[in-house]
């Protein structure tokens, strides 16, 4: 039973890394589920204000 939890945690660990800046944040997973982008809170704000860059 413990082995399955460890594998699941390692699998989810890669979803907490932002695509742009590489920061690890819990917000990345929720943004990925809601919007389809793996962005942290600050990168999401920048993308919202300046969508061209």
**pLDDT level of residue 15 (50, 70, 90 thresholds):** low
Residue 38, both tokens? 């793996």
Gap between the Cα atoms of 52 and 11, Å rounded: 32
How many distinct structural domains can be found in the chain?
A: 1
Structural domain includes residue 22: yes
> Residues 27-50: pLDDT tens digits?
888 888 888 888 899 988 988 898
Residue 5 lies in a domain: no
pLDDT of residue 24: 87
**2 lies in a domain?**
no
What does the pLDDT read at residue 12?
A: 57
Asked whether residue 39 is assigned to any structural domain, the reply reads yes
Flag whether the pTM goes above 0.75: no
Task: Give the integer Cα–Cα distance in Å for 21 and 1.
Answer: 35
d(CA 47, CA 31): 13
Q: State the residue range of the domain holding 20.
A: 11-49
Give alpha helix (H) positions in 1-53: 2-13, 26-35, 41-49
Q: For residue 1, is it within any domain?
A: no
Say how far apart CA 38 and CA 16 lie, in whole Å: 8
Is residue 4 assigned to a domain? no
pLDDT at residue 26, rounded to an integer: 83
In a domain, 3, yes or no: no
């Amino acid at each position: 039973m413990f082995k399955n939890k460890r594998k699941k945690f390692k699998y989810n660990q890669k979803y907490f890394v932002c695509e742009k800046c590489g920061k690890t944040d819990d917000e990345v997973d929720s943004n990925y589920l809601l919007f389809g982008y793996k962005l942290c809170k600050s990168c999401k704000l920048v993308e919202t204000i300046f969508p061209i860059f």
